[in-house]
Structure 1
């Protein structure tokens, strides 16, 4: 029988002066490598598979991003195409290789030749092994990497191309050598750290004090420049406007920067003059400078646009990139210099950890320019951090409606936050992933992905993103705070302790960081360290958040009287700051604990008051419904749960975790534990979500216990105890230990029961004498709290 010759596998393509090598992940032009990111390279491969044919947008989305749909973020395809055209040297308005077919997709135009770099093999006869045959899966040899099919999106980074040898340089003419070295120096700017050292106002007119922020927005818009964060530089040079050039250069060098950028506006009657400079951090030599004149006030932002664009060009950013990422400042920010100045003041406060104090400045910016999309977005972020979700959603809806008035980066910021505040967890994560694919050196999407995973109760996933964010911007108080929380929840106590020691007496920290340090001190039973964190919050806008944590600790310890007093103080502090929804959140926090401790009257009173304080909040409605269900007001619980479901049909945590928990609580009140078990079974993936404080597994344990199944009840109670690091002050931890001791005694496990009892005794060592769960325990009552 004759052997069948296998079909050759395409190793690459050739068109015009270009060559594509699939296995190496390379695009060559006249034999020289062209740097290209993974996404546009994969886009090129897909188009080269069927030259001359239209590839639909839907097909490209599926091939490049899988089955995920980004909705409003579909411009990611446009960006990837822009970067591909840039690599191929196509100018705007021309289509030598990549043609856009309006409303349909893209196609490759021109002749394409497939490449078969290795000859096709004739398979060995049965039972024989070829010396060159591929190794079995999992045993890949470094010398024979696995072939990738053309157009297949690999999740692995392409292997780096070999560097050009020194010998090849020696045969080049001196002029050519100089030319290529110049190109290499220009292209290296994109990977080098660039420090923006400030923009000074020397015009004599204070209304131009916000131009530094506008200049920063223009430079941040570029995915080509690797900008060091402003906060990081300010730690090196606190007053850049008055610092000498040598001080600025030293600050740049200390951060590993290669390029120092500064700017200024001067009064040049009858107009103004914008000057920008880029210098080498190592020796201060001038790399490039721009001078642009503005004939009047209404031309200043346009002049700054031009200066920033010329700066980006001179630093080597390709034309295609500058054309794609070049939103006019008046549209990307605001045409009102007064609004820009107010926004700048808010940014300065926010960078120093005073985000609540910045609310007034952002509101003023909006009053001066109601079309200021980014100002709405900043307010939305602050209200979200303050648990004012209703106000946050309102602000992000306004920003989302105005998102076309922003740069691509800020548009991603707005869209991702809009999805997050509306509870669309998967779309939020996808939005941040897309953001990372376009701006891979940006700390914000890393930081916010960490927050999303913390909310889901997946701190191990969060930790990696948090560390990356903190590394990219070590000066960010928010990145530091998110990393602290991730370290707390993953049990990285030594690293967190080091961070907490470092922040003592430091200004500009966020409340979230001090909350983590407070909980770490609680775990270590360090009362002095706990008091230091409480003292830090005194008189600050964040005081209510710390007081809420102190109240949870008191409840954990069974100090009911103290806990109630602290919750009242936290609620009052929130109201004093004008945060009604935060005050309502504090009330439903207490209401849930009162219900599960066995105080139904107090729970119902607090729940109804919380609904009065924040009548439009879906989150308050859901939490109040849970407390009402646990405390026996079934009719009102069902009513509020139905309203919440109707108002937020896309909210993941609400629909997948909170509403089932409410319905299970109602079934427990109706003495139908099997129904409660069935309702809670699908909630397991969300057992650890931050919104429920470890309650779902505890409720499931109660249901199994009531159903006469102590074995499964023990599994659920142990699950609560196993995840105590997610919320170290959750009273569900000692409550679960209490019930675990009971069911283990039923199972005849006296040793395990004694261990659980010791956990309860340790937690409630200083509990109030009349604390109901403790009293029931001492009286050996088996009733469910």
Structure 2
């Protein structure tokens, strides 16, 4: 009997060796859906800085495949560090992690280590209970070279998921190899991690260069492309957003189940514009991963498009409760509250974000809107002063101020502010926002009977961003308003053919433009008939914020 036991033990060791990973379970602890996991940093003794940040990002992608594990988001960790007056670059080490657990609501934390011996790399993952700091699981593995580090880390992550209680069936369903789910290039992962950090810390504009670099290093890095698409969308660069999300969507074999759901919803949202399919996909995502704040926060954005602000407020609030460190959710809740005229609630939620040391252009444009609704000139000036010199912020605020002056009947002042908004956007290489500000100015001219200036503005808009859907829509609307029916009709036909699946184009913009043409042609009955189709979308935000996990 003793010989059999020894042979059995040897067999287990050999099986572990052949798998390339070893695990150790200190206690028989299985996680439940009530547990939350803080992913900490890797102790890097290799001397190679490329592993700083990249391994933590890759490991998070691997673990996030699991429907069981509830990971604390990087944004929430950053927000907690800021609240303590610490740099967000502060490493979450084995010693420091327990101090963060209570503030983050974490019950378990994980740290890692990477070492180098000649050409081999050793990886170790250690998981601890927050309350006692007792180790509950440990996995070690190795890679024969740098190119295999990501694959080895993915294997270790899968072993750890099993040790923490995930079933074999779940692992078979939700375990895309990590080098496919992210990138086999550690350099690309480091740039991706930097882009994600900048998105949370400084906003979309600052994140774009790092995300583009990640794609240059690995053109098949689907997550980098989808994150870049969201950044472009939030910068009103919709043509670039559409192109990048289409390319990410085509890389279906390089995505986890969770990320595939995300990219699919973004494809319907930013790519085809099919709102019905986007909402259905988000709802599926919410059902499969109910604790995912991104699913709920971006579903709120879909309800903004159709003007259902109660639902937008509902899902944005749920997202904020799940992750209080994401600036986008404060913006979405505030925007919904403003649309519902819950002005004090909107101000409170923005101030709550500021108290957590979060800041972004959209928070200040919301404050400007609140000041406008209250007739608070000083409040509007204060937000204008904040925006000066801020790329992606100053142009948007100038455009808002232009609309404010036009509302008061100060048309010459409005025109000057719009001109400055276009110039500032161009200086920041934001071609599509520049075109939109030009288009809104041209439409304003058309409304006030300045037909020559309006037509010239439409031409300038198309010169600024010829591939922009929103610029094309505004240009056609201006041309229809100014009576250039032949050109408007030809461009409208092209728009309809190019965006055949786009809900807002087909169901809101086409009938609106046709109604405008009918009014110019003195056919009011036909105009009213056309507008019946657009009626369900009349409260929607039709000119393009999304987030990313």
TM-score, reference length from structure 1: 0.63
Moved more, 349-358 or 504-513: 504-513
2:502 matches 1:658 = no
Alignment-derived partner of residue 458 in structure 1: 308
Conserved 8 A contact 2:38-2:71: yes
CA positional deviation for 1:244: 5.8
CA positional deviation for 1:268: 3.0
- Of 546, 564, 577, 2:397 maps to 546
Alignment-derived partner of residue 351 in structure 2: 501
- Of 359, 374, 379, 2:223 maps to 374
Give the distance between the partners of 1:244 and 1:617, measured in 2 at CA.
46
The structure-2 alpha-carbon separation of the partners of 1:469 and 1:382, relative to structure 1 and needing over 3 Å to count, comes to same
Conserved 8 A contact 2:36-2:108: yes
Q: Partner of 1:358: helix, strand, or coil?
A: helix
CA positional deviation for 1:394: 0.8
Conserved 8 A contact 1:352-1:507: no
Q: Output aligned runs, 1:299-698, within 5 Å.
A: 299-421=148-270, 422-504=272-354, 508-543=358-393, 544-691=395-542
CA positional deviation for 1:304: 0.7
1:466-515 C-alpha deviation (Å, 9 max, x unpaired): 00000011100111211111111112222221233345597552322221
Conserved 8 A contact 2:129-2:136: yes
Q: Partner of 1:326: helix, strand, or coil?
A: coil
Which structure has the bigger radius of gyration? 1
Q: Partner of 1:263: helix, strand, or coil?
A: strand
1:14-70 C-alpha deviation (Å, 9 max, x unpaired): xxxxxxxxxxxxxxxxxxxxxxxxxxxxxxxxxxxxxxxxxxxxxxxxxxxxxxxxx
Alignment-derived partner of residue 227 in structure 1: 71
1:176-232 C-alpha deviation (Å, 9 max, x unpaired): xxxxxx9x9845433212212333433210122211110110111111101121211
How many matched pairs? Answer: 511
- Of 38, 56, 70, 1:212 maps to 56
The structure-2 alpha-carbon separation of the partners of 1:692 and 1:341, relative to structure 1 and needing over 3 Å to count, comes to closer
Computed over aligned residues only, the root mean square deviation of the Cα atoms, in angstroms, reads 2.1
Give the distance between the partners of 1:681 and 1:258, measured in 2 at CA.
53
Conserved 8 A contact 2:79-2:356: no
Q: Partner of 2:204: helix, strand, or coil?
A: coil
Alignment-derived partner of residue 19 in structure 2: none
Q: Partner of 1:192: helix, strand, or coil?
A: coil
Give the distance between the partners of 2:191 and 2:79, measured in 1 at CA.
23
CA positional deviation for 1:249: 0.8
Asked which structure has the greater RCO (Cα within 8 Å, sep 6+), the reply is: 2
- Of 29, 46, 56, 1:203 maps to 46
Q: Partner of 1:276: helix, strand, or coil?
A: strand
2:35 matches 1:192 = yes
CA positional deviation for 1:241: 5.0
Give the distance between the partners of 1:560 and 1:644, measured in 2 at CA.
31
Conserved 8 A contact 1:485-1:513: no
Conserved 8 A contact 1:357-1:541: no
Give the distance between the partners of 1:472 and 1:312, measured in 2 at CA.
22
1:367-425 C-alpha deviation (Å, 9 max, x unpaired): 11111111111111111112211111111111111122111111111111111012111
Conserved 8 A contact 1:338-1:368: yes
Alignment-derived partner of residue 167 in structure 1: none
CA positional deviation for 1:597: 2.3
Give the distance between the partners of 2:454 and 2:162, measured in 1 at CA.
63
Give the distance between the partners of 1:240 and 1:280, measured in 2 at CA.
24
Give the distance between the partners of 1:202 and 1:321, measured in 2 at CA.
34
Q: Partner of 2:334: helix, strand, or coil?
A: helix
Give the distance between the partners of 1:501 and 1:236, measured in 2 at CA.
17
Alignment-derived partner of residue 6 in structure 2: none
The structure-2 alpha-carbon separation of the partners of 1:202 and 1:531, relative to structure 1 and needing over 3 Å to count, comes to farther
Which ranges of structure 2 fall in alignment gaps of 5 or more residues?
1-24, 82-86, 545-549
Higher helix share: 2
The structure-2 alpha-carbon separation of the partners of 1:531 and 1:610, relative to structure 1 and needing over 3 Å to count, comes to same
CA positional deviation for 1:246: 4.8
Conserved 8 A contact 1:203-1:265: yes
Which ranges of structure 1 fall in alignment gaps of 5 or more residues?
1-181, 694-785
Give the distance between the partners of 2:401 and 2:355, measured in 1 at CA.
20
Q: Partner of 2:128: helix, strand, or coil?
A: strand
Give the distance between the partners of 1:573 and 1:185, measured in 2 at CA.
60
Conserved 8 A contact 2:330-2:350: no
Q: Partner of 1:392: helix, strand, or coil?
A: helix
Give the distance between the partners of 1:243 and 1:615, measured in 2 at CA.
47
Give the distance between the partners of 1:185 and 1:513, measured in 2 at CA.
46
The structure-2 alpha-carbon separation of the partners of 1:525 and 1:302, relative to structure 1 and needing over 3 Å to count, comes to same
Give the distance between the partners of 2:210 and 2:89, measured in 1 at CA.
23
CA positional deviation for 1:236: 2.4
Give the distance between the partners of 2:28 and 2:354, measured in 1 at CA.
43
Q: Partner of 2:420: helix, strand, or coil?
A: helix
1:698-720 C-alpha deviation (Å, 9 max, x unpaired): xxxxxxxxxxxxxxxxxxxxxxx
The structure-2 alpha-carbon separation of the partners of 1:692 and 1:378, relative to structure 1 and needing over 3 Å to count, comes to closer
